Amino acid sequence: MNKYVLGISCYFHDSSVSLIKNGKIISAVQEERFTGIKGDSSFPSRSIEWCLNINNLKISDINYIVFYEKPLKKFLRILNSSIEYFPKSRSFFVSQMKRWLSEKIWTKTNIVKKLKFSPDKILFCQHHLSHASSIYYTNNLSHSCIMVNDGIGEDQSFSIWSGEKNKIRLLDEILFPKSLGLFYSTMTSFLGHQINEGENKVMSMSAYGNNSFDNELNKVISISDKKIFNQNMDYFEYQFSLYNNFSNKLTNLLGDPRSPNTEFLNKDLVLSNDKSKKYANIAYSTQQITEKIIEQQSNHAYEIFPSDNICLSGGVHLNCKANNESFKNSKFKNIYINFCPSDSGGSIGASLWAWNNVIEKNENILNQDVYLGPSFDNDFIEETLKDLKINYIKFNTTAELLSDAANYLLKDKIICWFQGKLEFGKRALGNRSILARPDNKKLSQKINNVIKNRESYQPFASSVLYEKAEEFFEIDSKFKNSYKYMSVVAYDNKKNTNKLSGILHVDNSCRIQLVEETDNSLYYNLIKNFFDLSNIPLLLNTSLNLKGEPIVDNPIKAISTFLRSNCDLMYIGNFKINQND
- CA gap 224, 229 in Å, rounded: 4
pLDDT bucket at 268, cuts 50 / 70 / 90: confident
The C-alpha angle 250, 324, 441, rounded to 5 degrees, equals 90
321, 203 Cβ separation under 8 angstroms: yes
Query: Rounded mean pLDDT of 369-385?
Result: 97
- CA gap 548, 565 in Å, rounded: 13
pLDDT digits (tens, 9 = 90+) for 82-92: 899 998 888 88
- CA gap 257, 247 in Å, rounded: 11
Residue 532 — φ and ψ, nearest 5°?
A: -60, -30
pLDDT bucket at 103, cuts 50 / 70 / 90: confident
pLDDT digits (tens, 9 = 90+) for 218-244: 999 999 988 899 999 999 999 999 889
| Helices and strands, counts by H and E, the chain | 18, 22
pLDDT digits (tens, 9 = 90+) for 177-203: 999 999 999 999 999 999 999 999 999
Question: Closest by alpha carbon to 239, among 126, 83, 97, 94?
Answer: 83
552, 438 Cβ separation under 8 angstroms: no
How many other β-carbons are positioned within 10 Å of the β-carbon of residue 112? 16
Name 72's Cβ contacts closer than 8 Å, sequence gap at least 6.
105
pLDDT value at residue 122: 98
Count the alpha carbons within 13 Å of 157 in the hemisphere toward its beta carbon. Answer: 20
17, 8 Cβ separation under 8 angstroms: yes
DSSP string, 231-300: E-GGGB-TTT-SS-SB-HHHHHHH-SPPPTT---B-TTSSB-SHHHHHHHHHHHHHHHHHHHHHHHHHHH
For the cut 80, the answer to whether the pLDDT of residue 14 exceeds it is yes
For the cut 60, the answer to whether the pLDDT of residue 12 exceeds it is yes
pLDDT value at residue 366: 62
Query: Rounded mean pLDDT of 75-88?
Result: 90
How many other β-carbons are positioned within 10 Å of the β-carbon of residue 89? 20
* SS3 label, residue 459: coil
Question: Closest by alpha carbon to 392, among 194, 574, 530?
Answer: 574
pLDDT value at residue 501: 96
pLDDT bucket at 361, cuts 50 / 70 / 90: low
How many other β-carbons are positioned within 10 Å of the β-carbon of residue 567? 24
Name 49's Cβ contacts closer than 8 Å, sequence gap at least 6.
none
- CA 489, 490, 491, 494 torsion-angle sign: negative
pLDDT value at residue 132: 98
Mean pLDDT for all residues in the chain: 95
Question: Three-class SS string for 29-45?
Answer: EECHHHHCCCCCCCCCH
pLDDT digits (tens, 9 = 90+) for 26-59: 999 999 999 999 999 999 999 999 999 999 999 9
**DSSP element (H, E) containing 146:** strand 143-149
* SS3 label, residue 103: coil
